[in-house]
Amino acid sequence: MALKNPYAKYANDRVITASPAELTLMLYEGAIKFCNLAKIDMEKGEYGDAMFKIRKARNIITELQSTLDFKYPVAKDFDIIYNYIFQLMVEANQKHSVEKVDEILDQLRDLRDAWKQIMKVAKDPARQ
């Protein structure tokens, strides 16, 4: 099935050709985007829309968690962080809490920024 929207085709091609590291970065960016949108909805009192967007971000966290390879010790650390973020998302939805969304965004941005740094080092080990 051909995509008629050029932006949709570009986005689809970008995902298909991305490395696993780039896909992980895209997932972090997507979770951040949905949380930012949820925060805006909460500030406007549109809690149903906010819940929907947080649910999308939660699905992304669940996907990230499902890809963890526990033969590496760091996977346990990521699992703990993802569980914490997931719990914050549940609380943000239950309490309609912009503050919880801000905390989620802080955690996600830290993960994204660390991931970007890991990608740079992996690309050029001399940068360590």
Q: In this structure, which CATH number among 3.90.380.10, 1.20.120.340, 1.10.1370.40, 3.40.50.1820 belongs to the domain 20-127?
A: 1.20.120.340
List pLDDT tens digits, range 33-82.
999 999 999 999 999 999 999 999 999 999 999 999 999 999 999 999 99
Q: What's the mean pLDDT in 5-34? A: 79
Report pLDDT for 35. 99
**Domain residues of the chain, as ranges?**
20-127
Report pLDDT for 125. 65
Q: What pLDDT band is residue 122 in, cutting at 50, 70 and 90?
A: confident
Check pLDDT > 90 for residue 7: no
| 3-class secondary structure per residue, 65-94 | HHCCCCCCCHHHHHHHHHHHHHHHHHHHHH
Report pLDDT for 15. 55
List pLDDT tens digits, range 79-119.
999 999 999 999 999 999 999 999 999 999 999 999 999 99
